[in-house]
Amino acid sequence: MTDCLIVGAGPVGLTMAAELARYGVGVRLIDRAPHATETSKALVVWSRTLELMDRMGCSQAFLEAGLRAPGASIRGGGRTLGHPRFDTIASAYNFALMIPQRDTERLLAAHARAFGVEVERQVELIGFTEACDGVEARLRHANGYEETVQAPWLLGCDGAHSAVRHGLGLAFTGSAQGDDWLLTDVRLDGPGAPPPDEIATYLHRDGPCVIFPIPNGRARVVATVGKTEAGHARPDPTLAEVQALVDRRAGGDIRVSDPVWLTNFRINERKVSEYRRGRVFLAGDAAHIHSPAGGQGMNTGMQDAVNLAWKLAMVIRGMAGEGLLDSYSPERSAVGDLVLRNAGRLTDLATLSNPAAQFARNLALRFLLGLHAVRDRIATTMSEIEIAYRESPLSHGPGAGARWPPEAYAGLPPGAGGEPRFVLYAADMRRGAALTRRFPRLLEPAPRPSPERSDLVIVRPDGYVALAAREAAWDDAERYLSTLARADERGTGAIS
Ligand SMILES: Cc1cc2nc3c(=O)[nH]c(=O)nc-3n(C[C@H](O)[C@H](O)[C@H](O)COP(=O)(O)OP(=O)(O)OC[C@H]3O[C@@H](n4cnc5c(N)ncnc54)[C@H](O)[C@@H]3O)c2cc1C
């Protein structure tokens, strides 16, 4: 039985499929491409994604395959401007995990397979229509056969040119950043090569050049290479051009060799305003694309999937009313806005072309990166551990919406085939046990002791605080859970 048709088996569709299947939801995962990504594309998996992978049950495989980068360096005007460190991030994963996207997809596909999901390749979504209780989708197979599928829910994880987004007629609002960028994966040698676990940014007057470490002794070089007129494609760079560019911007003591990927790209910054229309949802690049500065794109998309999967599972399994789904778009759209803003600012800063502005930027960076607080802020923002859903219709009480410290829920089983559950933390364990008995399908069977003696906290299946209250607020908690549980609750949004 297909409860959800997932279009696109990139990192976001694979995460969505694995999470839904883990919760016992029937999924079909289709992709029009004959094979998974073969290039390195998104390279960084950040702390919050790794924490969520703990809950998914796949973080260990990523940690074994990736390379841990403990920090970065920023150079400009012939000197080092600063060394942001990631080891100050308040997470067990206080580093940037460097792992090529082809490996990310391979590991996620293996993880999804463990829950019985196989990607159906060379199957393309060519159209769909919505009805009140589901979606009718038209799929084209490699041999030209056209299939019509009925599914209660359609999930568009089909990337920047999303057919699902087009089918909904949703505007993808934004703009293109003006530069052409070069990208290559190479080997680096020479006395000037940055340490093999450091992300090195060179802010040159011609434009930025960034070197990222990749496992197995390789490195990614990304740099601006000027502008071409709209509609004109720049030819792929040659190794000699990359060498000349690295010589000029990174100081002349680095030799590049053995390229496996030489390409150009342009940056678009675009987003939909609604991630849901009726029974159709968007996640990942289908909903938001932006500058790769900060390496947030794939991480944000995978977190979209984690956010939606438990909500859909609860609704599909009759544990919660459909009102629960109303929180997905506001929660993730706000995060998308934030990520677009931050990535855009970083890109603007790095690509300043006016020499006076470049001088002022370098001076300011040198001062600011000397301050612990600034370095910590940069690392924390990149790590996505401070993402919170304070304005969400699901958040109730002071502190609600915040990330619940992962140590507090360590040891939760990944829950294969099980149902997602909220967790109750209570100071009064007797009353806590009574509440968990009253809502056996919403709450983990046993309450856990609250870290604060007087607190009553309900934590969502994705590790964010749903309700935070004082001990006397048992009525609030009861009302909150009753509203969630009402299976006929459609579209009311706020839980009060
Ligand atoms: C050169 C490059 C470098 C990048 N570097 C970074 C980085 O350093 N950090 C970062 O976070 N991000 C980076 N990104 C972005 C990152 O790759 C994306 O954010 C990520 O792939 C998005 O995942 P997704 O699953 O949403 O979409 P995608 O990975 O695009 O997957 C979408 C899938 O949908 C399939 N599909 C599309 N249409 C249909 C259809 N009609 N029917 C069936 N299937 C369909 C496609 O075949 C594809 O497999 C980079 C991207 C590029 C191109």
Q: What total of structural domains would you count in the chain?
A: 3
CA 160 to ligand 1 centroid distance, Å? 7
Q: Same structural domain for residues 146 and 216?
A: no
E-only strand ranges, 89-122: 96-98, 119-121
Q: Is 183 exposed, middle or buried (0-12, 13-18, 19+ CB in 10 A)?
A: buried
CA 314 to chain CA centroid, Å, is 22
Mutation test residue for ligand 1: of 29, 37, 41, the one with most atoms within 8 Å of CB: 41
Mutation test residue for ligand 1: of 161, 220, 298, 342, the one with most atoms within 8 Å of CB: 298
Which ligand 1 atom sits closest to the C-alpha of 101?
17
Q: Same structural domain for residues 181 and 244?
A: yes
For residue 59, give Cα distances in angstroms to 48, 51, 105, 169, 285.
Answer: 11, 8, 13, 37, 22
Task: Look at ligand 1, atom 35, and give the residue with the nearest C-alpha.
Answer: 8
Q: Same structural domain for residues 346 and 427?
A: no
Asked which of 269, 284, 309 is the last residue of a domain, the reply is: 269
Question: Is position 113 within any domain?
Answer: yes
CA 285 to ligand 1 centroid distance, Å? 6
Q: Same structural domain for residues 150 and 36?
A: yes
Q: Same structural domain for residues 333 and 286?
A: yes
Question: Is position 139 within any domain?
Answer: yes
Q: Same structural domain for residues 183 and 261?
A: yes
Which ligand 1 atom sits closest to the C-alpha of 31?
44
Which ligand 1 atom sits closest to the C-alpha of 183?
1
Question: Is position 57 within any domain?
Answer: no
For residue 476, give Cα distances in angstroms to 311, 394, 404, 462, 479.
Answer: 21, 13, 20, 21, 5
Structure confidence by residue, pLDDT tens digits, 226-283? 888 777 788 899 999 999 999 999 987 999 999 999 999 888 899 999 999 999 999 9
Range of the domain at 205: 174-269
pLDDT (0 to 100) of residue 411: 55
CA separation for the pair 29, 118 (Å, rounded) = 7
Q: Is 166 helix (H, G, I), strand (E, B) or coil?
A: helix
Q: Same structural domain for residues 222 and 337?
A: no
Q: Same structural domain for residues 35 and 121?
A: yes
Asked which of 330, 350, 370 is the last residue of a domain, the reply is: 350
Neighbours of 392 (CB within 10 A): 23
Rg (CA), the chain: 23
CA 234 to ligand 1 centroid distance, Å? 21
Instruction: Provide the mean pLDDT of the chain.
Output: 92
At how many degrees (to 10) do helices 297-316 and 328-350 cross? 180
CB 268 within 8 A of CB 289: yes
Which ligand 1 atom sits closest to the C-alpha of 300?
11
Q: Same structural domain for residues 163 and 218?
A: no
CA 161 to ligand 1 centroid distance, Å? 9
The pTM of the whole model exceeds 0.85: yes
Question: Is position 73 within any domain?
Answer: no
Question: Is position 399 within any domain?
Answer: no
Question: Is position 318 within any domain?
Answer: yes
Mutation test residue for ligand 1: of 6, 32, 179, 303, the one with most atoms within 8 Å of CB: 32
Task: Give the bridge partners for 459, in sequence order.
Answer: 423, 465
CB 210 within 8 A of CB 245: no
Residue numbers in the chain where pLDDT is lower than 70:
408-417, 453-454, 487-496
Q: Same structural domain for residues 114 and 36?
A: yes
pLDDT (0 to 100) of residue 492: 40
Mutation test residue for ligand 1: of 102, 158, 347, 384, the one with most atoms within 8 Å of CB: 158
Question: Is position 371 within any domain?
Answer: no
Q: Same structural domain for residues 253 and 193?
A: yes
Which ligand 1 atom sits closest to the C-alpha of 289?
19
Task: Look at ligand 1, atom 20, and give the residue with the nearest C-alpha.
Answer: 298
Asked which of 230, 250, 269 is the last residue of a domain, the reply is: 269
Question: Is position 461 within any domain?
Answer: yes
The CATH number of residue 200's host domain is 3.30.9.10
Q: Same structural domain for residues 30 and 145?
A: yes
pLDDT (0 to 100) of residue 496: 44
pLDDT (0 to 100) of residue 11: 98
Structure confidence by residue, pLDDT tens digits, 469-479? 887 789 999 99
Helix and strand counts by DSSP (H, E) for the chain: 13, 24
pLDDT (0 to 100) of residue 488: 45
CA 444 to ligand 1 centroid distance, Å? 35
Ligand 1, pocket residues at CB < 6 Å = 7-13, 30-33, 41-44, 101, 124-125, 157-159, 163, 183, 265, 284-285, 292, 295-299, 301
Neighbours of 410 (CB within 10 A): 9
Which ligand 1 atom sits closest to the C-alpha of 160?
30
Which ligand 1 atom sits closest to the C-alpha of 263?
1
* Residue 153 CB contacts under 8 Å (≥ 6 apart), including other chains: 3, 4, 5, 134, 135, 279, 280, 281, 312, 316
CA 10 to ligand 1 centroid distance, Å? 6
CB 189 within 8 A of CB 222: no
pLDDT (0 to 100) of residue 233: 80
Task: Look at ligand 1, atom 42, and give the residue with the nearest C-alpha.
Answer: 124
Place of tokens 């919403």: 442
